[in-house]
Amino acid sequence: MSIAYFDNAASTKVDPRVLDAMLPFFCENYSNPSALHSCAQEARAAVERAREQVAELLGAEDPSEVIFTSCATEANNTVLGTFCGRLLYSAIEHPSVRNLAEGTDRAEAIPVDEEGTIREDAYAEALSRVKPELVSVMSVNNEIGSVQDIDKLGAMAHDAGAHFHSDITQGVGKTELNLSTRPIDYATLSGHKFHAPKGIGVLWARGGSPLKPFMCGGTHESQRRAGTHNVPLIVGMGAAADIIRREGATESARMRDLRTRLIEGVTSKVKDVKVNGQENGAPHIASLSFYRTEGESILINLDARGICCTAGSACSSGRGLGSPILNAIGLEQDWLRGTVRLSLSRFTTEEEVDYLVSSLVAAVEDVRSLAGYANV
């Protein structure tokens, strides 16, 4: 049975072109780019080329603003760990921001509306009352695909004298970047969400912004991130950034069409289904809630049909508490429990979407009939 993969918000396939770019740096040139010999200098040049590729994708003025990290989690932790003052963060941030913030008494969550967008009145009120040093708002949510008005939120943070951080992990290739010209001071991203391997991330920090290293060690990355450069992964990140810079807009439009096909296919055939987030949310994420079903039962049923997806998000699965994101948008328990996240990528085909639609219709019918719920 072939696999239809609809879990791209959790991780994506490495693009074969990215793999090709990485391969020479495993067994041919494996030198440490901080060394002085010519092989090391060649590896160093590859790291710097990747930095330029990422800077170009991000629309960053100066490639030295790009810092390579092990993942977006590390990048998010670095930004939050830089500040000792008050912090505002959206209630739907990834756990690498939310859990850190919840662990301090200096942080306050900004509520979101039922579509998963920041409540601007509450945000404005919190800015003037809390007087934060840092505001952290993700560009695209990983569970429901809601997209924030980062320009407006960032400008409001700056007017209030705060630094502004955006976790753009799910927004790369799907939303506007052009970071240099926008009211953003820090952005964080992860290679494995856009066809580079796992274990490589980027922290973009606008020149002159404060930064406290997360780890203590050598002088790598201009003393901002210690640890030997992971050359193959950095090269992979650069290659993936270059591809998405050239192909992202076309891909994104294709994914949006597939998402519409998926949502229309399911909502026209299944009753009591709700689409979470905004109607025009991120092109690659569809979060669907089926009234009075269990998302995990649907997931297992789909798995048996060769379809990979997630109930809620990979980061909150297995917690047994219900997704904090779905709670934050005020989804009632009877809907929340029956939620599945389906996420697309460059490699998703129309045939796979059609197979997903027919399988999902059958899976919901199975789960509902087992529970004695009258279906379609």
Residue ranges that bind ligand PMP, judged by CB under 6 A: 71-73, 94, 96, 138, 142, 167, 169-170, 190, 201, 315
**Distance of closest approach, residue 201 Cβ to ligand PMP, in angstroms:** 5
- Choice between 53 and 76, CB closer to ligand PMP: 76
Give dist(CA 293, CA 273) in Å, integer: 10
- Choice between 73 and 146, CB closer to ligand PMP: 73
Tokens standing for 20?
Answer: 């090709």
- What is the CB-side half-sphere exposure of residue 17 using CA atoms within 13 A? 9
What contacts 24+ positions apart, CB below 8 Å, involve 351-357? 352/4, 352/5, 352/6, 353/258, 353/261, 353/262, 353/265, 354/261, 354/265, 355/4, 355/307, 356/4, 356/6, 356/262, 356/302, 356/307, 357/261, 357/262, 357/265, 357/266, 357/269
Question: Strand, helix or coil at 62?
Answer: coil
For residue 315, indicate whether it is catalytic.
Answer: yes
Q: Which amino acid is at 347?
A: F
Give dist(CA 246, CA 230) in Å, integer: 25
With beta carbons less than 8 A apart as the criterion, state whether 313 and 10 touch: yes
**Distance of closest approach, residue 89 Cβ to ligand PMP, in angstroms:** 12
Question: 225 to each of 75, 161, 203, 208, how far by Cα in Å?
Answer: 10, 26, 10, 16
**Distance of closest approach, residue 73 Cβ to ligand PMP, in angstroms:** 3
**Distance of closest approach, residue 343 Cβ to ligand PMP, in angstroms:** 10
- Choice between 311 and 367, CB closer to ligand PMP: 311
- Choice between 44 and 259, CB closer to ligand PMP: 259
- Choice between 142 and 146, CB closer to ligand PMP: 142
Helix H or strand E segment including 73: helix 72-82
**Distance of closest approach, residue 208 Cβ to ligand PMP, in angstroms:** 25
**Distance of closest approach, residue 93 Cβ to ligand PMP, in angstroms:** 8
Classify burial at 102, counting beta carbons within 10 Å of its beta carbon; exposed 0-12, middle 13-18, buried 19 or more: middle
- Choice between 44 and 346, CB closer to ligand PMP: 346
Tokens standing for 213?
Answer: 């290293």
- A 10 A CB-CB count for 71 gives 20
Question: Which residues are marked as active site?
Answer: 315
